[in-house]
Amino acid sequence: MSNNIVVEARDLTVRFDGVVALDNVNLKLQRNELRCLIGPNGAGKSTFFKCLAGMQLPTSGEMIVEGEATTGYDPFRVARLGIGIKTQVPSVMDGLSVHENIWLAARRTQSTRKANGIVDDILGRLKLGDLARQDVSTLAHGQRQIVELGIVLAGDPWLVLLDEPAAGLTGDEVERMVNVIKEINDYATLIVVEHDMHFIRQIAKMVTVFHQGRVLIEEDVDTVLSDPIVRDVYLGKRR
Amino acid sequence: MALLPLGVDTFTLTVLCIYALLGLSLGFIWGFGGILCFGQAAFFGLGAYAYAIAAINFGTPWAPFFIAIIFPALIAAVFGGMLFFGRLNDVYLAVLTLVFTLILYKFMNVTAGENYIIGKARLGGYNGIPGFETLSLPWDPSEYIYGDSLFYFSLSLLLLVFLGLRWLLKSPFGRVMIGVRENELRAELMGYDVRLIKTAVFAIGGGVAGLAGCLYANWAEIVTPNLFSLGQSAEVIIWVIVGGAGTLFGPILGAAIMGYMKFLLGQQSLIDNTLVMGAVLVLAVLLLPRGIFPVIADRFTRKTGRERTTRSRSSRKRPTRKRHRRREGSNEQ
């Protein structure tokens, strides 16, 4: 793999009324990488995610995507760079069908006819065919997560950001999610924010651990998971 | 006339059509665009004034007719653009639209002086502008459209706008717009510029309200600042709620029913008619929270066993009651 950096955070800092959520975070991401961001509650990983997605304006520092400074971009401009974003609490269009949700995502860049084709393809890939005409507000949490993933995929992104994709999924669904993530990684770069260590173990290659707004460690998954400091952070031990 | 037994003549029916158009304009932007505008009367009034002022200056009715649609739409685009690009949320939006119509109302009331002249037209303060050229046949300017023919003209325009909006809602733009109503953040994350879409929706609503105002000017043959009044704005909202937000036909029905009721109540002096209107609103909200039309439509579809249409499906939801669904799953910041 070439040394091709697609996402770079430079001294990213976010403060909320005196609370420092992110403290001078520097992070680099290479093309086609699958990067997991982990850390305990309040570690700053979701804030970092939001800065990248355009949902949070950093207090200082810069976010650079493929050489373009995206700091202060609105979410739609970030999305138009070809970035697919799945939020923490599933953000889907309640009141509309599964098909319509995915169609709207596909139609942004495609003609109506092509969008229809893309929707059928994604419904098949995610095994959502039976639910296609159902209103998403009637679906269970896990199904909504999958629908949101479908929405993200419909935009044909080269960079996919997933915030807690495994939260609230059943065992079967987790397995499906793992497979889909690996499949996406064949052609796209991924950033996955996750709590679930079991899930991380199944997908992760490189892991960045956040702690108290800083990057604690950035290593491959085995090193990170056997690191005593990481264990302490997760178990809440004082160092 | 067919409706004569109800004690309605075409003169009243015409204004009911006009109200229906106005109701439709708000029903469109609120029920489908998710934009609650407390000042829809502003665009109604702007349409009426634009028509009157242009008709006096040009002396012909058809250019003013189109100006009366385009001008309010442009104002709505500029005003709406400021609100949406400023990312104001629902409450501020409602308040600002309210203030917008209030300002127009107050301003138009003080334009009695000699200084307030646009071209040849005097704004006339609270007396309004009378005596402008009304609509006539394009091929025969001596043949005025009034009375029965104004009714049929208004009714056809109402039908045309209704069908046009229905078509629009089925088009990709309409589908995106409904998506925006359901979840702005998601639409944005899909890459849609929500600000632009909402501005466009608002402008279309402004144009339709302007058309209603233009017809009103032709019907009343005078325009006064009362067109901008708060009462007028509030009434439109009541029509939409009673008829059924989230449908196109509901606001038309609501406007017709409430307009007719106002007409009947106006014939007696026993009870204040705003009191009755208020009571009807309260009853409607309590008993038929989705409005009259969705209930009728549901009953009809159940009886005939037809499949639900997209329209009645989306009507199940009121745009005002956005559900912020939070299921189990972590809420880490």
The pLDDT, as a whole number, for residue A1 is 43
In Å, how far are A108, B56, B70, B113, B187 from B117, measured between CA atoms? Answer: 47, 11, 21, 9, 45
User: Rg for chain A (alpha carbons), in Å?
Assistant: 18
- Which pairs with CB-CB distance under 8 Å and at least 24 residues apart come from B168-172? B168/B204, B169/B32, B169/B248, B170/B310, B172/A107, B172/A112
**What is A1-80+191-239's CATH number, 3.40.50.970, 3.30.2040.10, 3.40.50.300, 3.10.20.30?**
3.40.50.300
A156 touches chain B (CB under 8 A): no
- Where exactly are the structural domains of chain B? 4-229
Minimal Cβ distance to A76: which of B172, B192, B333: B192
pLDDT tens per residue, range A29-40 = 999 999 999 888
The pLDDT, as a whole number, for residue A139 is 92
The pLDDT, as a whole number, for residue B7 is 66
pLDDT above 60 (res A111): yes
Cβ(B45)–Cβ(B227) below 8 Å = yes
A89 contacts on B by Cβ (under 8 Å): 325-327, 329, 331
The pLDDT, as a whole number, for residue A121 is 93
Minimal Cβ distance to B193: which of A76, A94, A167: A76
Distance from CA of A1 to the nearest CA of B (A): 29
Cβ(B26)–Cβ(B37) below 8 Å = yes
Q: What percent of chain B has pLDDT over 70?
A: 89
B198 contacts on A by Cβ (under 8 Å): none
Contact A155 B326 (CB under 8 A): no
pLDDT above 60 (res A132): yes
Interface test with B, best of A94, A135, A143 (most B CBs within 10 A): A94
CA distance B329 to B333: 12
What does pTM read for this prediction? Answer: 0.88
Q: C-alpha angle with apex A67: A64 to A73, nearest 5 degrees? A: 45
The pLDDT, as a whole number, for residue B313 is 41
B315 touches chain A (CB under 8 A): no
pLDDT above 70 (res B303): no
A112 contacts on B by Cβ (under 8 Å): 172
Contact A87 B185 (CB under 8 A): yes
The total number of residues written for chain A in this structure: 239
Q: What percent of chain B has pLDDT over 90?
A: 63
Interface test with B, best of A45, A55, A96, A122 (most B CBs within 10 A): A96
Return mean pLDDT, chain A.
Answer: 89
The pLDDT, as a whole number, for residue A189 is 94
The pLDDT, as a whole number, for residue B212 is 97
Going along chain A, which residue ranges are E strands? 5-16, 19-30, 34-38, 60-65, 68-69, 83-86, 159-163, 189-193, 206-211, 214-220
The pLDDT, as a whole number, for residue B88 is 86
Q: Which residues contact B167 (CB under 8 A, 6 or more apart)?
A: none
pLDDT above 50 (res B266): yes
CA distance A147 to A141: 10
Question: What is the arithmetic mean of pLDDT over A118-125?
Answer: 93
pLDDT above 50 (res B314): no
Distance from CA of B317 to the nearest CA of A (A): 7
B81 touches chain A (CB under 8 A): no
What is the ipTM, given to two decimal places?
A: 0.90
- Which has the minimum average pLDDT: A61-70, A82-91, A196-205, B244-253? A196-205
Interface test with B, best of A49, A89, A104, A133 (most B CBs within 10 A): A104
Distance from CA of A134 to the nearest CA of B (A): 11
B31 contacts on A by Cβ (under 8 Å): none
pLDDT above 60 (res B328): no
Q: Which residues contact B112 (CB under 8 A, 6 or more apart)?
A: B123, B124, B125, B126, B127
The pLDDT, as a whole number, for residue B256 is 93
- Where exactly are the structural domains of chain A? 1-80+191-239
Contact B329 A164 (CB under 8 A): yes
pLDDT tens per residue, range B29-54 = 999 999 999 999 999 999 999 999 99
Contact B325 A87 (CB under 8 A): no
Distance from CA of B311 to the nearest CA of A (A): 11
pLDDT above 80 (res B329): no
